[in-house]
Chains A and B, each alone.
Chain A
Amino acid sequence: MKSVLLAGMLVLGLAGCASQPETSSVIDRAELKVDPEVIYTMDVTELLKTRLEQPGGDSLLQVQFAVEARSDTELAWNVTWFDASGIMVKSVGEGYRKATLLTGQTRYFNATAPSTRVTTFQLHLREPK
């Protein structure tokens, strides 16, 4: 009887030590991520998002951002898309899109979600090497 109790306690103890896999959680992900090198040369002046109505009641997320350059510079940007569960949704291309900005120039860029499943996004701005 004692040994059964001991074995039971051991099993419970081990179960308590095992890390539980996270199955669902709300992720507070920043929509805009700007690398420090980019902040030196340009300002992100706007970040807009809209949903384009689709037949059947769905909608497609579209994002637009604007950057104003303080000096001639280069920019690389990429949007990662996520569904309602926070799972990444594959986009058409994988790579960063590159852009050149002239001093004082404001440029507007937009990206459209690859599917109506997309609910959130993360825009990353970096300086290409």
Chain B
Amino acid sequence: MLIRVLALSAGLAILAGCAAPTRYIDPAADDGAVALTMDYRDFDKAATDAVEDMLSSGAVNNPNGGRYIMVVSRVTNDTMQRIDTDQLTKKIRVALLRSGKVVTTTAVGLNGAEDEMTQKARELRNSEEFDQSGVQRKGSLQAPDLSLSGKILQRNHKVDKEQQVEYYIQLSLTDLASGLAIWEGETPIIKRGSDKAVSW
């Protein structure tokens, strides 16, 4: 009995020793293995490509001076994975805000305001409980000038004994005054790997 317990303990100890230790990954210095699914590095690349192209093309230069106001519209996930497209749009929003050229409104959205507090705060109007000098006035909200929309596509192919997974991150920036797409971009992300790996 004792021998069995000892052997089992030794086996567990060896297995625990072989397991990869949990560690932090620094996104600025990650040379780790590539997954067939979309990972943070893919969103990083797509956001970098999009923002650099928007800035260098002059599409986000407001001819009237000041910053453009952007609203995030629908970014469709047409892949086999569950992707929260905010992972992409947030990076773009943050970078555009830092550039000083675009600010994003959270008061308007396809499925209601991203931050409902903008409207809630206005419900305090005429409330005797609140000092009205601090309550937001009528007509103070700013309407968006630009809308960011897009789609993420996935296509799978079998190449020899491997599989090729293609992702296309397509984005458009629409001028809401004219309805014209003043900037469009596509970042293809192509991966090839084991046919046994899953891309969903």
Contact = CB atoms under 8 A, between A and B. Distances in A.
Interface of A: 52, 54-56, 60, 62, 76, 90-97, 110-116, 128-129
Nearest to B31: A129
Contact of A97 (B45, B55, B65, B100): B45
Given A91-B95, A92-B92, A95-B41, 16 more contacts: A52-B56, A52-B58, A60-B55, A92-B47, A92-B91, A92-B95, A93-B44, A93-B45, A95-B28, A96-B29, A110-B56, A111-B52, A114-B55, A114-B95, A115-B100, A116-B99
B61 interface: yes
Chain B contact-residue range equals 20 to 34
21 contacts: A54-B61, A55-B62, A56-B65, A62-B56, A90-B98, A91-B48, A92-B44, A92-B48, A92-B51, A92-B92, A93-B91, A94-B28, A95-B27, A95-B44, A112-B52, A112-B53, A114-B95, A114-B98, A116-B100, A128-B31, A129-B31
B27 A94 contact: yes
A92 B91 CA distance: 7
Contacts of A97: 45, 48
Which 3 residue pairs of A and B lie closest in terms of their CB atoms, listed nearest first? A93-B44, A93-B48, A92-B95
Nearest to A97: B45
Interface in B4-50: 27-31, 41, 44-45, 47-48
Nearest to A127: B31
Of listed A60, A76, A92, A112, residue having the most chain B CB within 10 A: A92
Nearest to B32: A129
A94 B98 contact: no
A60 B54 CA distance: 12
Contacts of B99: 114-116
Contacts of A62: 56
A45 B57 CA distance: 25
Interface string B113-138: 00000000000000000000000000
A27 B44 CA distance: 29
Given A54-B61, A128-B31, A129-B31, A93 B47 contact: yes
B63 interface: yes
Contacts of A56: 65
